Amino acid sequence: MRSDLLKSGVDRTPHKALLKALGVTDSEMGKPFIAVVCAASDYVPGHSHLHEISKSVKDGIRNAGGVPFEFFTIGVCDGLAMNHKGMRYSLASRELICDSIEVMLTAHPLDGIVFIPNCDKIVPGMIMAAARLNLPSIFVGGGPMNPGKVQGKRVGYSEIYEAIGQYSNGEIGDDVIMDYENNACPTCGSCSGMYTANSMNCLTEAIGLAMPFSGTEPAVNSARRRIAKETGERIVELVKQDIRPKDIITRKNMLNALATDMAIGASSNTVLHLLAIAHEAGVDISLNDIDEMSRKTPQLSKLNPASDVFITDLNDVGGIQAVIKELSKGGHINTDVLTVTGTQADRIKKAANADGTIIHTCESPIRKDGGIAILSGNLAVNGAVVKQGAVKPEMMDFTGTAKVFNGEQEAVDAILNNVIIPGDVVVIRYEGPKGGPGMPEMLAPTAAIVGKGLDGSVALITDGRFSGASRGAAVGHVSPEAAEGGLIAFVESGDKIHIDIPNRSIELLVDEKTLEERKAKGILPPKELDGYLKRYAKLVTSSNTGAVFKD
């Protein structure tokens, strides 16, 4: 066992003395040592209960004859970080999480790992660490929050931001805003829609790194604790069988995750994270693969923020395994692949069939192609991403007039102050991986557009990215970004932009001579940075490669 580096032989007596200082007994010295990597936090709602999940995991490890050792990682709540400098640290935290786990588990060699994430960047950061360390590993998230109820209607986190737009229009008053504040987020857990956190937890299950229902079982349910305990038991078996992450994070498994991604209409941020995971695992996955999967995989579920169906509803009709089972019937899933609990074929034998309402069949899908589309054109030579499953039909092919902003807050102010009108394309630039830096999420402007009733007549494009809670004709991840001289840097207010989602195209309708004149003037100088963001901006690559660090 790898932990023998700590406990085998007389020359490890000093190490064993330190272990006994922790309370480790002689009988425990001969058992598998299991790391429990927990992202618990007192001020992240999705992580506030992870101490309880961890306790269940550790109980399961002991049940199966292992010895648990818990340590903690950082974790940014994107909701609390939104609209201020903190959001620039969200994506950037993914690399720190991965690196810190590498440090801890190389300095303290153990035999297996249970990862307990829940929100946003923590999930992919931990998967990247699992691939890098390649020790037997398994994941269990904290589960989703229940939907809230405001004015008699079920709501998610995204509706709070949309309410701000309604408030600025005078459509609702202080009493309704207070109702949102008090009741939109009623429990612990990751926010209740198919936002980035729930998307990544569902895709972790789809890859095969987590137990069935790990992605969808609500945070407050006792079944969530049972899954955690069973996860703790299962890691001891994975150690005995020597099943490792790179046995599971294969190209076939990643394609399964992409098919599931398209079927559930997941967050556009999944594109960034799946590319980064594939890079860390040495698996060849590119935007071309994502585009191909998007074109051929049907969307089977349409969840909040794109509808009033929530992830808890998906759980009630069979969860991700039911989605995968239906996809397999249409030939969209590799069923012979390994997971942490047998093959994918073994798992879906027990899964529910598609109910036809929350999970549609392949014969009668919500749409014939996937929930995410990859666009390209002169404005995004290296690609851009749109959550097409959350775009209104009238915006699928749209030509509009650019209104350009060199940052998110300028754009939000313009939207709320009625500067943006029907027919506009809001362009937010210098918010990419380098230019942001950190590629901050932009829920506020997209939600303000919806709240103002403009989501059927206004588009938004950016070299930054969107929250999984965003909806509307919002095109992100434009690459190359403005800070690297991408064409988005040379758009001017009044230009025409054509967005054609069915044909996967995004074009700036300006002649080459004019563009060359603009390019001669150069781009904005880099922002003055210090601390981690200064190092991050120097090391990070483009969004089309997952915004990973340079090799």
Q: Which helix (H) or strand (E) holds 444?
A: helix 443-451
Query: How do 112-116 and 505-508 pair as beta strands?
Result: unpaired
What are the Cα distances from residue 201, in Å, to 117, 121, 206? Answer: 8, 11, 9
Contact of 507 with 497, CB cutoff 8 Å: yes
Which pair of structure tokens corresponds to residue 360?
């549609």
Active site residue 8: no
Which pair of structure tokens corresponds to residue 368?
């014939």
Q: Residue 85, Cβ neighbours under 10 Å: how many? A: 10
Query: How do 67-72 and 33-38 pair as beta strands?
Result: parallel
Helices (H), 282-351: 287-296, 311-316, 319-329, 344-349
Contact of 143 with 189, CB cutoff 8 Å: yes
**Side-chain half-sphere of 460: how many Cα atoms within 13 Å?**
33
Catalytic residue among 467, 479, 542, 543: 467
Which pair of structure tokens corresponds to residue 145?
């929050």
**What CA–CA distance (Å, rounded) separates 410 from 464?**
14
Whose structure tokens read 């027919």?
Answer: 423
CA–chain centroid gap for 133, Å, is 21
Which residue from 347, 341, 280, 351 is spatially nearest to 317, judged by alpha carbons? 351
**What CA–CA distance (Å, rounded) separates 526 from 457?**
33
**Is 525 buried (19+), middle (13-18) or exposed (0-12) by CB count in 10 A?**
exposed
Contact of 208 with 339, CB cutoff 8 Å: yes
Angle between the 531-539 and 90-107 helix axes, to the nearest 10 degrees? 90
> Helix, strand or coil for residue 396?
coil
Contact of 286 with 168, CB cutoff 8 Å: no
**What CA–CA distance (Å, rounded) separates 125 from 139?**
12
List active site positions: 467
